[in-house]
Structures are given as C-alpha cells and as structure tokens.
Amino acid sequence: MFSRRIHSRVLHLSAALPLALLAGPALANDASDVQERRSYLPEEILVSAAMDGYAVDDGSTATKTPTPVIDVPQSITVVTSDQIEDQNIRQLNDALRFVAGVTLETGEGHRDEVFIRGQESTADFYLNGLRDDAQYYRSLYNIERIEVLKGPNALIFGRGGSGGAINRVSKIADTGKIFAAADATLDIFGAFALGADINAPLSDAAAARLNATYQEFDNHRDAYEGRFFGISPTVTLDAGPDTRVVLGYSYDDDERVTDRGVPSLDGGPLTGYDRTFFGDRDFNDASAQVHIARARIDHQLSDELSINVSGQFADYDKVYGNIVPGSTDGDLVTLSGYRDATTRQNWIGQANLVWQGDTGGIGHTFLAGFEAIGQDTTNARDIVRFGSLDGPTSVQVPLAEEIAVPSFFVQPLARNRASELTMLAAYVQDQIAIGEHVELIGGVRFESFDLDSVDLVSGTPAARKDEKWSPRFGIVLKPRQALSFYASYSESFLPQAGEQFLVLSPGSAELEPEKFENIEAGFKWAPRPELLVTGAIFQLDRTNGQTADPADPTLVILTGKTRTKGVELQLAGEIAPNWNANIGYAYLDGEIRLRLGSVEPGTVLEQVPDHHVTAWTRYDFSEQFGIGGGIVHSSSQYASLSNAVKLPSYTRVDLAGYFTVNERLALQVNVENLFDEDYYPSAHGDNNIQPARPLNASVTARMTF
C-alpha cells in the first residue's frame, strides 16, 4: 500500500480553507426551524420548509446555494421520505426503479449500478453532497430523501457524473422534538425487516438520534438469501445563534448470495429457468462492511454571508465470489468464476462560502468553494479453475433446473493492484437576477486529479495527472413566479482509469480523459405550491472513448463517441387534497457515433429503452384508510453493446393499502407485480440477465411511542 502523505496534504488544505474564508465578510437569513428543512444543508442554503407528501421545492443540492427547484436549469427528480415509506422501500435500487430515465444494471448481484441518460455508473453516488463511490448496496434506513440530478455537472460534483448524480440525504437529530418509532415487515417469501428511529433532545441546543435496522433477504430464486444490519447515530449541536454542528456515523454490514441471473438464448433471456441458480451455493457470497463518519459546521457570518464546512471519512471492505453463467445452446451452459476483494478509504473535506447581495440593482447569489479528496484503494482477484489448480477457467455443464457445478479450485492473486488518488478542486458560481424575470447562472470548477497506480503482481507502476476546467452556464426566464423556462450547458470529465480507478495502465495513462457535454432546455411549472410539473429535452455527448488504432490494433487511441438525446416529463406532488403522485416519462435515443473499441457507429446504447414510464400515487379516503398504486413500463432494450440480446418490454403494476388503527399503530400492505408478469428488468452483459420477482406481498406494522 502506498504511504499516506497525500492524505496529510488533503487534511491540511481542507482545514486551512475555512480559516481563510472566515476572514471575509459574511450570508444568511433567519436560522430558525432548520430541522424542518433539508437535513444536511444550513438554513441559509435552504429555500423553504420540507413539504409532506411527494412535493419538492428545494433545489439547493444542484447549486450549493439557497435556490428553489423552479430556478435550477437542470432536470431533478426527488423520491421523498413519504414516498419511500408508502412503497415500503428498503434499498436504493428499488427506489430508483420509479425514476423515469434511470435504468438499473444488475450490478453483478453485489452492488448498485445504474444507467442515467444512457451512461452507466457504479460511482456517481453521494451522501449529503459528498462522494460515496465504492461498489456496494445502499440501504435507506437512515435516509430522508433521494435526489437524482440529471446531466453531467462537474462544477458541483466533480469528475464523473456522466449522466447525472444520485444524492442521498441523511436523517439527523432534531433539537425540537422527542419521538420513538419502530416498524416491522414480513413478505410471502419469508423476507423480513425490523427498524427503529429514536430522537431525544439533550438540551435546548442539542439532540441525539439513532436509526437502526435488521433485515433478512429471500425471494423466488433458488439458493438466494442474505441479511443486513445497519446502525446510524447522529448528534446536532446549536453552538450559538449563528452556528450549527451536525455529527453522524453509520455502520452497514451486508451479506447476501451473489446471484448473476440467467444466460441468454436466441437473442433473448433464457426462459423457463427463472428460479434456477447458476452458481455455487457455498462460493457465491458477497459481504460488505461500510463505516462512514461525517461532520458539518454551518456558520452565519452576517446577514449576507455564510460558510459551511464538511468532512467525511469512509472505510469500505468488500469481498464477493461467484460462479458465473456464460452462453448456452439450450443443452449446455458455460460456467466460469472468480473471487474479488476491495478495500477503500476516502478522506473528504469541503467548504463553501455563499454571498447574497446586490451590485447596481442586480442581484447575486455567489458561491466560492473548495474540495479535497484523498483515496486509497486495493483490489485483488482470484480465478476459479475447474478440476485442478492448473485446470481450465471455464467448463460446460448440462442445462437443468438445478445446475451441477463441478469441483473447482481458486488460483490466488491472478490480479492485484493498488491506487492512490489525490483530488484538489476550487470552484466559483454566480446566480445573477436581472429584474424579476431573468436569471443567469454561470460558473467553473478547476480540478487537479492526481492518480498513482501499481500492478502488485508484475510491479508495473502507472500514473496520470489531469488538470481540468469544467464550466456550467444557464439562463432561466420567469414570466411569473410559478413558471420558468430554462436552457443550460454543462461539462464533466472522467479519467481513462475508469470511475473506480482500477484499470490504469502505462498505455491508458497516456490518454486524455473522457469528456461529457450536456445541452438541455426545459420548463418548470408549479400550478400550486404543493405540485410541480417539469419537462426537458437534452443532448448528451460522450467523447474520447478508447478504441484500437486502425493502423496498429495493438495501440489504443481516442476516437469513440456516443450521443444520447431525449425528452423527460414529470409531475410530482399533491394533485388534489389527499391525493399525491410522482409520475414520470422519458424518451431516450442513444447510439454510438464514432467507433468505440470493436463497436461500430450506429450501435444502440445498452439498457436504454426508447420509452420509460414510472408512476406512484396515493389517495387517502379518510384519516384511517388510504390506497396506493404504481406502474413501471419499459420498452425493449439491448442487454449490451453487442446488440445481440434484447430484454423484452414489460409493464409492472403495484398496489398498496394503508390502515391507521389508532394514534400509535398503522398497518400497511404492499403488493409488488400484482399481475405476476414474467419480465427481465436488468442485465450485466448478454449472459447475466436478472429475472424479476413474481407477485410478492408484504405486511408492515408501524408504531410510535
């Protein structure tokens, strides 16, 4: 492992910046009632109190400033805590199924992985605005809401974010309330979940909160099982009228069977084997232990200026093994396998200065910020060999309802590598209000990205340093307060080491980063304060993809280009009294524009359906009884860039009922896939296709004390 010299540099820089900023003048509005607002942002960077139901009016994550969502020139979808509870959702990927334009990769059965606007990512995940980029499944037991910000925007989030970013907002301690709640869920497959949420003021200026859960997994697939344990304490301290400190920690421990799904046959998923487990019951296992400690300080310096400083340390320990299905001819199926282990430590420091004022009658919301990241990663892979230690790495076995996996041995350290990353960034942004009807936003981020990598098997080092400017520009026209039209341009980049920084080689270290450019135009309309209707059209170009040199196939050059064009529509909030809904539609058209590796121009991008519809709604007939329901529809999509295997179109229907027994007890029934449709929502290549769950019902009891 490399030395920790870079982390010392990061910590010194992130500590020095707040001292420098405190020397400047000072923002903010009233600091009252911050707990009713966004959990991790200060009062001065908030817009209004959080609403009940599915409504959202806060767009501050997209700008790091107090900006209503109607004034943000970007498409944003939010899944609120009420929607999460109404759908009885426990995992991030289950919530993202109901976001139009976001499709799920199988994640090889051990991680969250998504496609946003046709761009695949395992790393564009954030917690309270700070990067959470390791490969694991994320639980929602301590999460207040989920924000999906579409389109690349490196100014706010830094490198990556190719199709967008997914931010989770944590629950935090509330100094103004005392409460205790518990819930228990059981479904027809035997899976269950227990949860607790306890908040207690410690004084007028301090409070503590504890969220915890224990879950056991099961479904229709043979051999599938697992369990999850999570605990997350937080403390909130009001250190004076102008200062708030929030401390948090979470420990997540996940163990589950690594299920790679089913292979393909004749251009589609292999049917008739939706329950069959194409792996080894003892070897196919994934475990992840994740520690995340975080701190945030918000301080008002004056009526016009505020500062916030955040720090986070994350430690990830992940290992998974799997026997993997390959191609099948209907009689035999090919199996291979490996075991993979990754450790990662992230140190992150971030500080933001926000000024709100006027110059010559023109309003400004000015942001200046700094971010520093130090990251150490190690990754090792062992290869499965069948029959003996020098046996073949793949084998064919008869296709059957229960796959007979032959004896195998594990060859250690077929791959072993380490990387050390230092990222330093500074950014500025100005939101300019010209009169009451025109707002401009512009800014740029400078990012220094320094990566050192070594192949520990061969001893071969590789290094790459990139220094990139990432701009963002937008205009918002507001004929009236409840209606806006916008246009925007944004950029992001991704080093050729990939988003997990595990594939840097001396050859790829010579190549410039990939570039993402997004042009977008849209509207946002709030016919009532609790309802928002939005629409957007966009074009996203990805360039600098690696491909072989036609003159010398042994060399790699940069010519690959993809383009995704699309339309996104959404309605979210209270349609009428007691009736809430979150309805979305996305039309996507993605293709290869210039040769990408062996993939020819005109190839359709993988897992990008032409049409994607998501809807969830709840109506309360009385204070005691309500019903809910949802639909997810996807047109057909290709499993990979080979365009050889297609996942058929599908429509899934869900149903829910809500019963309030008394002021302390509520019951809830959720039915997933009401009409028991057979469908295949996700894949990892052509031969790891995940069958969806058949009809599943769960009963939940929620108690308050």
**CA 609/CA 620 separation, integer angstroms:** 34
- pLDDT score of 558 more than 90: no
Please give the average per-residue pLDDT across 186-212, as a whole number: 97
Is 316 buried (19+), middle (13-18) or exposed (0-12) by CB count in 10 A?
A: buried
Check residue 642 and give its pLDDT: 93
Q: Is the pLDDT of residue 44 over 60?
A: no
Confidence check: pLDDT of 659 > 50: yes
Q: How confident is the model at residue 45 (pLDDT cuts 50, 70, 90)?
A: very low
Which CATH class name applies to 5-704?
mainly beta
The secondary element (H helix, E strand) that includes residue 15 is: helix 5-22
* Average pLDDT in the chain: 90
Tokens of 589: 């058209």
The residue written with tokens 């991790």 in the block is 40
For the residues 314-320, what does the mean pLDDT come to? 98
Beta strands per DSSP E along 22-113: 76-79, 102-104
Mean pLDDT on 553-560: 65
Residue 163 has pLDDT above 90, yes or no: yes
**Selection from 28-42, 49-63, 464-478, 585-599 with the highest mean pLDDT:** 464-478
304-318, 515-529, 542-556, 662-676: which range is least confident on average?
542-556
Is residue 530 a contact partner of residue 51, using CB atoms and an 8 Å limit?
yes
Residue 600 neighbours by CB distance under 10 Å: 12
CB-CB contact of 92 with 138 (8 Å) = yes
Predicted confidence band of residue 507 (pLDDT cuts 50, 70, 90): confident
As a whole number, mean pLDDT of residues 57-85 equals 95
- For residues 350 and 373, the answer to whether their CB atoms sit within 8 Å is no
Residue 152 in contact with residue 164, Cβ under 8 Å? yes
Q: Is 247 left (phi over 0), alpha (psi -120 to 50) or beta?
A: beta
The pairing of beta strand 305-328 with beta strand 285-300: antiparallel
Kindly tell me if the per-residue pLDDT of 74 is higher than 60. yes
**pLDDT at position 7:** 40
The yes-or-no verdict on residue 417 having pLDDT over 50 is yes
**Residue whose structure tokens are 């520093």:** 372
Share of the chain above pLDDT 90, in %: 83
| Global pTM value | 0.91
The string of pLDDT tens digits covering residues 206-240 is 999 999 999 999 999 999 999 999 999 999 999 98
Asked if 520 and 73 count as a contact pair (C-beta separation under 8 A), the reply is: yes
Q: What does the pLDDT average to over 84-107?
A: 96
For the chain, percent helix, then strand, then coil, each to nearest 5?
Answer: 5, 60, 35
Q: With contact defined as beta carbons under 8 Å apart, do 161 and 540 qualify?
A: no
Closest alpha carbon to 553 in 605, 595, 519: 595
Residue 240 CA to residue 248 CA, distance in Å, equals: 20
pLDDT at 551: 63
pLDDT of residue 70: 95
Instruction: Reply yes or no on whether the pLDDT at 148 is more than 50.
Output: yes
Residue 486 · residue 63 · CB < 8 Å: no
The count of C-alpha atoms lying within 13 angstroms of the C-alpha of 567, restricted to the half-sphere facing its C-beta, is 6
pLDDT tier for residue 504 given thresholds of 50, 70 and 90: confident
